[in-house]
Amino acid sequence: MKVAFVSRFPRDINTPHGGVESATVNLALALSVKKNIELHIVVLDKKQKHLEIEKKKGITTHRIPAPNTPQIFDILGGPGMRELISYLNSLKPDIVHFHETYGLLARGLSMPHIFTVHGFDSENILVESGIRGRFKIVRSWLWGLIEKIGLSQKKYIISITPYVKKFIEKKTTARIFDIDNAIDKKFFNIKRGEIDYRIFSAGWISQRKNTKTLITAFALSVKAMPDKKMELIIAGAKRDTAYLKEVEDEIKKYNLENKIFLIGSVSQDKIKEELSRAGLFILASYQENAPMAVAEAMASALPVIVSNRCGMPYMVKDGESGFLVEPSDAEDIAKKIEILFRDEKLRLKMGLAAKNRAIEKFSPDNVAEKTIKAYEAIL
């Protein structure tokens, strides 16, 4: 079976940028070792000046030059969309699997396609700040309209969480396949080398990821446990300079420069290293679907503290594999940190429950098999 992904895809598979790239890499690697799968990945790249085709690890990557047209206009039939459809038709896969927003309004393909809904730009924009949050109401409305039209035209959709499924069911008559995102199997084999009272978080430094509230919660937990040598490590891109300044000011306000470390975008190997050393993981975002960072932490046998919003309650069983919190409530987040750090047995018990749940939901082999079955059902 010849399969073509359409997605963002990193040149170095050990350094994916964001959840969609991570999910695509993990599924691609799992599918590439299947004897009956010939896998191609088609990438529209604004930095690309000419077509580039590379085969590595059983995956053929096609990088197509993309126009500078804003994506919101290009997917409506702009030059990038036209070039993408033309290239896919010339490639002649048996099925196209869209992981990119272009899949919403893809028309003119000579073969069937399926679209994985990784997120909703209409929702994400509303909780962004800085440049990414400019004209958010208008942009959210436009994306919402595109999502509504696009979903209504789909025949086959993959939902990565029941949260996504609930969101799209009223907007489409498509056949919906329930398939979680896959994570790198190496996360399941991390050797624990926990440093006492060390917390890890991964996500862009942004209003949507709610970094400032995490800083405040950490400060409160430090105050509650003054005798403990606590540390907070935050990995994530620093794109929103105005919000980054607010976060840095918050750190200085509580005199936590020697306890909080913003390490920026890092490799998968560095993420694994930090997870192995942490005692717990926190992501208190305002808007997420099924964050890869949470799944990876669970696979690493870490208890997790996550928001009670969107897709996260479907990943974490409150009080069993972690805690669900109101993202704006720094005091509650701090209390949950204290509970876990004062009870080692509970921390280990929750970590084991998190790992078992991750094996069930996010194993790349299981996800690949479910995905192949979806392809076969369509063909």
Per-residue pLDDT averaged across 357-367, rounded? 94
**pLDDT number for residue 315:** 94
Say if residue 240 is in the same domain as residue 346. Answer: yes
Show the tokens assigned to 93.
């896969």
Residues 105 and 191 in one domain: no
Residues 151 and 14 in one domain: yes
Q: Is this prediction's pTM over 0.75?
A: yes
- Higher-confidence position of 122 and 353: 353
Mean of pLDDT values over 23-33: 95
Would you say residue 112 has pLDDT above 80?
Answer: yes
Q: Are 182 and 361 in contact (CB under 8 A)?
A: no
Q: What average pLDDT is seen over the chain?
A: 92
Question: In this structure, are 356 and 367 located in the same domain?
Answer: no
Q: What is the pLDDT of residues 133-169, one digit of tens each?
A: 567 788 888 888 988 999 999 999 999 999 999 989 9
SS3 category, 78: coil
Same domain, 374 and 316: no
What pLDDT, on a 0 to 100 scale, did the predictor assign at position 234?
A: 97
Max avg pLDDT among 46-50, 143-147, 178-182, 194-198: 178-182
Average pLDDT (284-288) is 92
- 129 or 35: which leads in pLDDT: 35
The residue assigned the tokens 């079955």 is 373
Kindly report the CATH number assigned to the domain that includes residue 143. Answer: 3.40.50.2000
Cα 44 from chain centre: 20
| 43-61 pLDDT tens trace | 999 889 999 999 998 999 9
> pLDDT at position 123, please?
77
Q: Tell me which residue of 319, 312, 316 sits closest to 299, measured CA to CA.
A: 316
* 211 and 148 inside one domain: no
pLDDT of 264 reads: 94
Q: Domain range holding 169?
A: 2-182+363-378
Identify whether residues 48 and 169 lie together within a single domain. yes
Give burial (CB, 10 Å; 0-12/13-18/19+) of 171: middle
Q: Please tell me the predicted confidence (pLDDT) of residue 371.
A: 97
Task: Give the model's confidence band at 130: pLDDT under 50 very low, under 70 low, under 90 confident, else very high.
Answer: low
Q: What is the pLDDT of residue 367?
A: 96
For the stretch 219-243, what's the b/e string if a residue is b when 16 or more beta carbons lie within 10 angstroms of its beta carbon?
Answer: bbbbeebeeeebbbbbbbebebeeb
Question: pLDDT at residue 66 above 60?
Answer: yes
30, 367 Cβ separation under 8 angstroms: yes
Nearest to 44 by CA among 91, 80, 88: 80
Are residues 200 and 153 part of one domain? no
Number of Cβ atoms within 10 Å of the Cβ of 275: 23
Query: Do 170 and 235 belong to one domain?
Result: no
Q: How confident is the model at residue 193 (pLDDT cuts 50, 70, 90)?
A: confident
Tokens describing residue 114: 């399926």
pLDDT of residue 132: 56
Start-end of H helices in 240-363: 241-253, 268-277, 292-299, 312-315, 330-342, 344-362
pLDDT-derived band at 224, boundaries 50, 70, 90: very high
Count of structural domains within the chain? 2
Q: What is the model's pLDDT at position 205?
A: 93
pLDDT value at residue 133 = 57
Report angle CA 316, 321, 327 to the nearest 5 degrees: 50
Phi (first) and psi of residue 286, to 5 degrees: -85, -25
In the predicted structure, residue 126 carries a pLDDT above the cut 80: no
Mean pLDDT for 202-219 is 94
How many Å apart are CA 302 and CA 201, to the nearest integer? 12
pLDDT at 12: 87
Low-confidence winner among 126-130, 228-232, 313-317 (lowest mean pLDDT): 126-130
The amino acid at 97: H
Report the distance separating Cα 351 and Cα 279, nearest Å.
Answer: 9
CA atoms within 13 A on the CB side of 211: 33
Is the domain of 102 the same as that of 45? Answer: yes
Do 223 and 277 lie in one domain? The reply is yes
Give pairs for 240-243: CB < 8 Å, separation 24+.
240/128, 240/129, 240/130, 240/131, 240/132, 240/204, 240/205, 240/206, 240/207, 241/130, 242/129, 242/130, 243/129, 243/130, 243/205, 243/206, 243/207, 243/211, 243/212
pLDDT per position as a tens digit, 244-282 = 999 999 999 999 999 999 999 998 899 999 999 999 999
Give residue 136's pLDDT: 76
Q: Are residues 289 and 325 in the same domain?
A: yes
- The answer on pLDDT for 218 being more than 90 is yes
| Residue 131 clears pLDDT 70, i.e. is over it | no
